[in-house]
Amino acid sequence: MEVKAEVISSLRKHDTGDEFSHVSSLPKASVLIPLFLREGRVHVLLTVRSAELKHNPGEVCFPGGKSDPSDRDEIDTALREALEEISLPPDGVEVVCRLCPLLNQRGLLVTPVVAFISDSFQASPNPDEVSEVFSVPVEFFLKGTDHSAYPVPNIGAYTHSFIYTDPVTGKIHQIWGLTAFLLILLAVLTFKKKPEFEVGFDLENPLASFQQYLQHRLSKL
């Protein structure tokens, strides 16, 4: 089986579909996790938030944002935001799955939408929202060399951080918090391997753990 087909097959086993679309007690948001193949390796596209933004300026993240009343579902939100932020046309996106939504620090229920895009896509960042676009091999997020973790509870028992040096530009990026957590999860689900570090969640059935955590949080509201 070719690499892309194998990755899609692995990730679709963890698709939550519209299971959480009914949750209306929290404001919703979506992020697009854009994957592509380069020289046979799976890469993920990431953005750097504009320094002018009110929330999390200058941080590395995925394209995404709050849902709009006109959005049909979480996928619509992710595709609309990716078009607005980096000019990624929706018809150039092959949606693979929706992963279990997570609560961020601002109380938004964030649904990760995983998709494949063309390796020839050239991002055109909206300067009001995005200052830079770069990519990282997904397997990087299984390695312990450039990873650190802090005993600050997030979804698991740790808040994770990676330092990545872009070989194209030489720029150094810190990838941490919810973005780092989702990238670890993505790498685990994609390659079916354990990271070289402790993650603070059940690697055997990670999404079941997150669903239990989410249901627990929702029951407190």
- Which CATH number covers residue 182? 3.90.79.10
Nearest to 206 by CA among 107, 110, 100: 100
| Residue-number span of the structural domain to which 128 is assigned | 3-219
| pLDDT tens, the chain, 221 aa long | 599 999 999 999 999 888 877 777 788 999 999 999 999 999 999 999 987 777 778 899 999 999 999 999 999 999 999 999 999 999 999 999 999 888 887 778 899 999 999 999 999 999 999 999 999 999 999 999 999 998 766 566 688 999 999 998 999 999 998 999 999 999 999 998 999 998 877 777 777 767 776 776 666 66
* pTM of the shown model: 0.93
Tokens read off for 16: 């939550």
Q: Which helix (H) or strand (E) holds 41?
A: strand 41-49
Domains in the chain, number: 1
